[in-house]
Structure 1
Amino acid sequence: MSSLPVREAARAVVLDADLRVLLLRYPENGGFWATAGGSLEPDEDYPAAVLRELREEVGAEKVDLDGQIAERVQEHPVSGQQVRQVERYFLVHASADGIDPSRASQPDTIRSSRWWTLAELHSSTETVDPLGLAELLAHGTPRSPVILH
């Protein structure tokens, strides 16, 4: 068991009606695409954090929060401190017009956003986090949370 501090994080796998997934482009580590999300605030649960993060990062106003579809534990630095991050991924349904990055109140280091088809995710040579996102969604949404590595 790791003795590192635990950082709980909620992440949103946002799908539109055409089953495209919304990913955000970050410049760190050579650049990568990732789902929206971030750490929980004190006394906040995972679903509330997902909705807050979507408002803050991509200006989401009208979304439908579904259940948890995946979980991942990883160790990595946050603000110069190594942490053990526990991420829970939630399925969120939204229309492209319900997402407006110009309304984002805390876009952090996000450089851009893009809707990806599953075929684009499968064939892309770009770094997408988490690994296995396309496979996670390839057969529909999981009935119970899948452990990602």
Structure 2
Amino acid sequence: MLLLRYDENGGFWATPGGSLEPGEDHSSAAAREVREELGVNGVELGPELATRSSDHLVAGRPVRQVERYYVARVHAGMVRPEAATQPDEIRGWRWWSLAELAASDQTVYPVGLSDLVVGYLRDGAPETPVELAS
């Protein structure tokens, strides 16, 4: 899996993603974010595996964040961070094996990502997206 490194909040790894633009649906936003953050054009999204919602403050104002997680298979040669147009404080990126991810003591979001992907590879996509813990 390809994860992105961020330094805020003590540092963590996370999947590509970001906010919806006005009038945009979640799958279009996911494809746009992959293009903007990794320079990958024409990514084809697979099934939606999971969702996660959380409430927190942004600039002192309450915000409800809703995340949706999709499968996207991308060849390593397609990833071109130098072509990213919105690097969004990304400090690095790395391909992880499932074993590395499961054994890591580093913070990875969403929590349970390794189990989610193992379940998908073993059983296929869930009928309805799994609700992940906040």
TM-score (normalised: structure 1): 0.82
**Structure 2 residue 110 is the aligned partner of structure 1 residue 130:** yes
**Structure 2 residue 30 is the aligned partner of structure 1 residue 46:** no
Gaps of 5+ in 1: 1-20
Other-structure match for 2:125? 142
Other-structure match for 2:52? 72
Tell me how large the CA RMSD over aligned residues is. 1.2
Q: Deviations over 1:85-138 (max 9, x none)?
A: 111111111101111100000101100000100001100000000000000011
What residue identity is the alignment partner of 2:117? L
CA change 1:79–1:26 in 2 (3 A) is farther
C-alpha separation in 2, matches of 1:112 and 1:70:
24
C-alpha separation in 2, matches of 1:51 and 1:22:
15
1:29 aligned counterpart, secondary structure = helix
Q: Deviations over 1:19-76 (max 9, x none)?
A: xx11000111000000000110000001110111011111112422112110001122
Kindly state the Cα deviation for residue 142 of structure 1 after the two structures are TM-superposed. 2.8
Other-structure match for 1:102? 82
Gaps of 5+ in 2: none
What residue identity is the alignment partner of 2:94? R
What residue identity is the alignment partner of 2:93? S
Kindly state the Cα deviation for residue 143 of structure 1 after the two structures are TM-superposed. 2.4
Deviates more, 1:78-87 or 1:97-106: 78-87
Q: Which runs of 4+ in 1 moved over 2 A?
A: 76-82, 141-144
Other-structure match for 1:114? 94
Aligned-residue sequence identity (percent) comes to 52
Length, aligned pairs only:
129
